[in-house]
Each structure stands twice: as structure tokens, then as C-alpha cells.
Structure 1
Amino acid sequence: MTRFLLIFLLTLTGAGSLAVAQEKAPLVLALDADLSAVAVEGGTAIRRGMEIAIAEVNNNGGVLGHQLSLVTTDHRGNPARGVYNVEQLAKRQDLLAIFGGVHTPVAVAELDAVHKNNLLFLSPWAAGTSLVDNHYTPNNVFRVSIRDEQAGEVLIKTARERGVKEIALVLERTGWGRSNLTSLSKAAEHQGLKIVSTQWINWRQTDFTNEMSAIIQSGAGAIILVSNAPEAAVVSKALLKLEAAEMPLIAHWGLAGGDFVAEVGLTDLSKLDLSVIQTFSFLYQNNSRSAYLLKAYRQRYDDIAPQAIPAVVGLAHSYDLVHILTAAVKKAGSVEADAVRQALENLPVLQGAVKQYAPAFTENMHDALMAEDYFMAMFNEDGHLIPVSDIR
């Protein structure tokens, strides 16, 4: 009896060892973003969207027998640090893809390292047109986010619909600002608006009074602003200082990736005529995936009002991108970059939180969102962005 029991136990032990040996190692999704400098809210939102999607995928059996895990690196808005992070991540044998953060200049700087190492790079925020329309063949960059070329048309249209004929541009002095100068100039010409002043703001600039005075003297009827949160706060304070707060301030979404509201203050914010381009709001999108995302966010992080979730576009974009990526891996039947890239370009219709992707990407278009997917939002009395359609 003892002998048979010993044989039985050894058999069970052997079977367990075989099962462990046959388990596949986890696959890593890396997030390289600003997690500690000027766009912390954006970076945190992207990480949380990834975490929710990864947990959902893992709870449903993973992908091709692999569980997914998340690794984060913090480039702090520094392009050189971003390149270093990508080079270090490329050494990982378990890496499936890298997700980028808020800053276009960092993402563009990383492109050489991404393609040299044949890595997949997925962008849930950085909007620079050249990030996707790059010179690399094959192109390993895929984006669920705003595309500046398309955003320019929407921002200019917003000014035109306000009855404005002459506008001023305020652009951060980076590759992202230059990308928007191109797109906004083209859109203004296309829609018959005249740019009467173009002013540049540097990162960490603390005063914008002289530049704002020049804008006011130019006779501009509205300002289109392209900057991150700290610089947007500086521009806003200059408007208030010069008692020109009634001038419409039509903003790209960089200010929504940081702590803009806290820097300006609710009292002063309420005095501004400020609207911000967006792609997602739990008050705007109404589908099963967005409902799941909201429920999971509240259970996992904070049971707050939908409109109070910080940098919500990053949350939704990264959530959708994880599911798009895993769908491509399943379609490819492989985790090799070339096979997954080809599958990303040939996916069927997929329902996401942001929209139904029909499809998300093609061989010639690696941007999933276009102008028809953008809308304008304004801050309410609590400092939360609300779609304009829900305000008026």
C-alpha cells in the first residue's frame, strides 16, 4: 500500500513539474513616459489604462498562452533619457511592445532606436504628425491619439465658428510646436482665417506678458494654444494680468496632461474663455467597453465622478491600444515584431472604449483617430473637462 501511494505521489509531482515546464513566460508591455515631471497626470492615466487592459487580458487566459506584465520607465520629458530607456528595453527578450507617453519630442527622438531594434511602438498620446509619418520602412509606430495634421483643422474650425477671422498662435518651442505651426497654417489658409501673430514659449518660461501684449496689439480675435500644462498656465496668467480674459483661448490638449487647473486656480480658470480639444469622455462615449473601463477604474483606483478622472484620454487610448495589440498577436499567431506589425495593419472590426475601429490601422495609415473623432471640451466649475455639447 505504501509503495503504491509513493508511486501515485511521484506521478502527481512529475505531472506538476511538466505543467510548470510547459507554462510560457510572461510577455512585457513597456511604458516609457513622463511619470515625474510636467506631464505626470498623462503618464499616470496611460499606465492605468494599460493596467486595466492587461488585467482583463490575463483574466481571460492571456495571449497565445502568455500572461502580460507591465514595466515602466520614466523619461521625465527628456529625449536623451527616452532614447536610453528604449535601448535598455530592447535588451529584454520578453518585450512585446513599447507604449509612449505625452511628449512628441521624446517619442520622435526614440524612433531611430525603435526601428534599429525592430521594436513595436504604440502611441496613446503624443500627437506630432511626424511621429507616425516618419521615413522608416517598415514603420513600427501605431497611434490611437490625436494627429496634429487633423487637429489643426478642428482648432481652426472652432475659431471660425466663434466668428473669428484673425487669430494668434502660441506654440511651445519644440518639435511638437513646429508640427502644429505647419498644420495650423495650412488649416487657416484652407478655412480662410488669417494668422496675425505667432508667439513661442519655452519650457519652464515663467512670464509671457510681453508676448501677450504683442498678441493683443495684433488685433487677434482668438488664441490657439499648443503647450503643456505649466506653460499653458503661464499664458493664461498673462491673459488675466492684461485684462484680456474674454479673448477665446482654443487649446490643444497638452495642458490636460498635467496639473493645469491647480496651477491656474479655479477662480481664475472660471474667468477664461478656454476650450480644449479631446477625443474621449465618459460623458461622450457610450458603449460597452467604455462602461467596463469606467467600472474597472473606479474599483481599482478611485470611485469618482466620470468627468473627474484626470487625463482621461490617455486612460482610454492606452486601454484600447492594449486590446488592439493583443488582437494582432492572436491574429498573427506569433509574438515576432514583423508578424504582429502585419497583423496590426490587417485587423477586423474591433469595439474599443473610444470608438469602433473599422479597422484601427491599414498598411498606409497607422493613425486610428481622425478629425471626426475629436471634439471640444470646457472646464466646469470644479475644474473638470466637459464636452461642449454637454454644456450648451
Structure 2
Amino acid sequence: MRSLSAALGAWIVAALALFAGGVHAQGVIKVGEINSYKAQPAFLGPYRKGMELAVAEVNASGGIQGRKLELVVRDDNGNPGDAVRAAEELLAREKVDVLMGSFLSHVGLALTDFARQKKVFFLAAEPLTDKIVWDNGNRYTFRLRASTYMQVAMLVPEAAALKKKRWAIVYPNYEYGQSAAATFKKLLKAAQPDVEFVAEQAPPLGKVDAGSVVQALADARPDAIFNVLFAADLARLVREGNTRGLFKGREVVSLLTGEPEYLDPLKGEAPVGWVVTGYPWYAIQTPEHQAFLKAYKERFNDHPRLGSVVGYAAIQSLAAGLRKAGGSDTEKLIAAFKGLEVTSPFGPIRYRPEDHQSTMGTFVGRTRLQNGMGVMSDFRYLDGARFQPSSDEVRRLRTAD
């Protein structure tokens, strides 16, 4: 009788184990996604579509060891406090496995610190501040998009080649803008020691008084302008600058302006001849991008924006890391992401073990008008790996681990 009971007990234990394993295999891996959807719709609407396309592709290919990816999305209202509260709710109530997202740099920094405190994996998809992977970097946080330093470093050789001595700078007065301006001054001064910075304008994010900013820049009589404004602030600067002749006869070097999110709304008012970073989706012929472009157009009957690429590549990165880790265990996922190689629409990228920064690059070119719309011309893709500091320098910068 005991033998029969023991055998029955063993059978029940084995059956339960098989059942549990089956449930696990049939379950989902929840991705808690936090972003400023209402505050930055131009970028984050396409970003969300890019994520949805990638999730569909991952799940159609079998998911992660039989488990499907599921996005659980929250809006942070462009506010660090709201972002942290959303992250807490996602972990406590939704039981998400990993966190991902953020757009604005100060929000990304808040989530970076949250990830460190809660010991949860966080993939910062878009926020550009260098602090996410340097000063405030931690073992739980990785970042996809090319950082402020990387993108400015891509533009500085172009700026130095202009051989302009007197520069004015305009940037949004928060972490991203401040960092971009400081890096530009440092790197351009190193490349061109005789350069002078004759004016700085730092309006609040989303609240630029374009008339006074343009007048102040014009009064300084610079030879060239470095611009960091984007979205609605960029549109106001361009329109007021065109009206007052600010850009006539002056070179302009501008971060992000070649991104369709910000260039398309300007239509025929788009600036001509600016040196920019951006995304010329209409002219990239690589196999990786052509496959992405085809899939995106078929699913959404629309062309992608840069946000689409970032959202897509972020999910593909998570999927690659989860597969390599064999699941969503935090420590195994951290180990998997160090040196992780992923194929993105821009080609192969790698997450550096030194600072958890991916090598995703960007396109640099000049703006021009074509059929009444702003486009990028004479562009080339710059691999982010060429514009990252050395391992020794990263160790000096990265102190929060």
C-alpha cells in the first residue's frame, strides 16, 4: 500500500511539474513600457508602431522559448515622478518582467535610478543624456539610441570643416540640451582652438519665445549656429528665423533636425543647407532597412519615422537578450546584454560591456527641399562604435555601479 501511495505521489509530483512547465512555456514575458506618449506624439506614435511590428514578428517566430512577448504601456506625462510611479505600478500590479522606454532625458535618468534601487532590468530606448550610461550608469540599465556625446561627436568634424570662428548656440534648457551644448563647445574647441562662442540661448523645453531668441542670436552676429531645439520648438525657430533672415548667409549645424518627425511638419519652410543628423528613410538601400521598410509599410500603410526604428530595434534587442539569457531572470539578462549583438534596420549593433551603450549610429547630411518637402541629401551612415570614448575613459566616468 505504501509502495502504491509513494508511486502515486511521485506520479502526481511529476504531472504537476509537467503542467507547470507547460504553463510556463505557454505564458508570456511582460515588458513594462513607459514613455511620454501625450507629450511627444510626433516621435512616440511611430515608436509605438515600431514596437508593435517587432512584437508581432517575435511572437510569430515562436516567441521566447514558447513564451510570447506582451507590452504593458504607461504614459509618464513627460514627468520623472509620474514615470517612477508608473514603474512601481507595473512591477507591483502588472508583474512585468522587464522595464523599457522613456524619451526625455530627465525622465530616463529617473527610471535609471529606479532600476538601480529595485534591481530590475531597464532598457532605455531613446533618452539621449550621457549620464544614463556614464555618471548615473548602473548594472541594471542599458541604452539603445546613440547618446548625446556620440551624435555631437559625429557633427563636430562637419562643423570644424566649415572654418567658422564665431558660433552661437541655442538649446532647450534641460538635461539633454545642456549636455549637447557643453559637449559641442568642448569638442569643437579641441578641433578648432580659435573658435569663439558669442551667444547662447537656452529657452525652456516646449516654451521657446522664438522672436526674442532669434533676435538675440542675430544681435550676436555669429558666423554659424549650433541648434539643439527639436519638435515644436524647432518649428518656431525655423519659421521666425526665416522671417527675420537669421539663417541667410550663415551655416547651421543641427541635432535631430533631419528626423522626419521634425522635418516633415515644416513642409516648404524646411531649412536648406543645414548640416544635420537624421533618418532619410526614402533613400537607404541596405537589405536590413529594405526589409524593415517593406514590413512597416505593409502593416501600417505609412512610412517609418526614426521613432519607428527605435521602437522596433528596442524590442528586437530585448528579444535577442531574452533568448540568449534563456528567459527573463535579471542577472542572466544583464550578462546576456553585455556584448549582445543585434541586427537592426541600420545594420548590426552591439551593446558594449563597458558602459551598456549600444553602437547604433545615425545618418549625417545636409537638408534640402524636394517636391515641397524637407529631405536629407549627401548623407552617410556613421557607425556609433567610432564615436564612443575608450574603455579607460568610461571607467573614469562611470562611478555609480
TM-score, normalized by length of structure 2?
0.80
Asked whether the 8 Å contact 1:129–1:147 carries over to 2, the reply is yes
Q: CA deviation at 1:131?
A: 1.6
Match of 1:226 in 2: 228
- 1:24–1:118 CA distance, 2 compared to 1 (3 A): farther
Task: Give the match's secondary structure for 1:110.
Answer: helix
Q: 1: CA distance between counterparts of 2:357 and 2:375?
A: 24
Instruction: Answer yes or no: is 1:322 the counterpart of 2:322.
Output: no
Match of 1:251 in 2: 254
Q: Which amino acid aligns with 1:324?
A: S
Task: Give the match's secondary structure for 2:206.
Answer: coil
Q: CA deviation at 1:87?
A: 1.7
Q: Which amino acid aligns with 2:364?
A: F
Q: Which amino acid aligns with 1:286?
A: T
1:84-163 to 2 correspondence within 5 Å?
A: 84-92=85-93, 94-138=95-139, 140-163=140-163
Match of 1:380 in 2: 369
Task: Give the match's secondary structure for 2:226.
Answer: strand
Cα shift readout 1:257-277 (whole Å, capped 9, x = no counterpart): 855643xx433325x543431
Instruction: Answer yes or no: is 1:292 the counterpart of 2:291.
Output: yes
Q: 1: CA distance between counterparts of 2:24 and 2:113?
A: 36
- 1:154–1:350 CA distance, 2 compared to 1 (3 A): closer
- 1:200–1:23 CA distance, 2 compared to 1 (3 A): same
Match of 1:190 in 2: 190
Task: Give the match's secondary structure for 2:98.
Answer: strand
Cα shift readout 1:310-346 (whole Å, capped 9, x = no counterpart): xx22222332222222222222223111110111004
Q: Which amino acid aligns with 1:298?
A: K
- 1:97–1:385 CA distance, 2 compared to 1 (3 A): farther
Q: Which amino acid aligns with 1:297?
A: Y
Match of 2:171 in 1: 171
Unaligned ranges ≥5, structure 2: 1-14, 381-401
Q: CA deviation at 1:164?
A: 2.3
- 1:291–1:180 CA distance, 2 compared to 1 (3 A): same
RMSD: 2.7
Q: 1: CA distance between counterparts of 2:366 and 2:286?
A: 17
Task: Give the match's secondary structure for 1:127.
Answer: coil
Unaligned ranges ≥5, structure 1: 1-13
Q: CA deviation at 1:170?
A: 0.3
Task: Give the match's secondary structure for 2:102.
Answer: coil
Asked whether the 8 Å contact 1:53–1:322 carries over to 2, the reply is yes
Q: Which amino acid aligns with 2:255?
A: H
Q: 1: CA distance between counterparts of 2:36 and 2:368?
A: 24
Q: Which amino acid aligns with 2:320?
A: A
Q: CA deviation at 1:290?
A: 2.0
Q: 2: CA distance between counterparts of 1:74 and 1:255?
A: 26
Cα shift readout 1:141-195 (whole Å, capped 9, x = no counterpart): 2222121112222223222233423211101010111111221121111111332
Match of 1:3 in 2: none
Match of 1:45 in 2: 46
Cα shift readout 1:342-378 (whole Å, capped 9, x = no counterpart): 110043x443211212xx11321322236x6542352
Task: Give the match's secondary structure for 2:99.
Answer: strand
Task: Give the match's secondary structure for 1:204.
Answer: coil
Q: 1: CA distance between counterparts of 2:59 and 2:346?
A: 21
Cα shift readout 1:119-149 (whole Å, capped 9, x = no counterpart): 22223321111122143542x2222212111
- 1:258–1:353 CA distance, 2 compared to 1 (3 A): closer
Q: CA deviation at 1:65?
A: 2.0
Match of 1:367 in 2: 357
Match of 1:336 among 316, 329, 332: 329
Q: 2: CA distance between counterparts of 1:387 and 1:73?
A: 37
Match of 1:81 in 2: 82
Asked whether the 8 Å contact 1:172–1:203 carries over to 2, the reply is yes
Q: 1: CA distance between counterparts of 2:354 and 2:78?
A: 29
Q: Which amino acid aligns with 2:251?
A: P
Calculate percent identity across the aligned residue pairs. Answer: 19
TM-score, normalized by length of structure 1?
0.82
Q: CA deviation at 1:245?
A: 2.9
Asked whether the 8 Å contact 1:46–1:101 carries over to 2, the reply is no
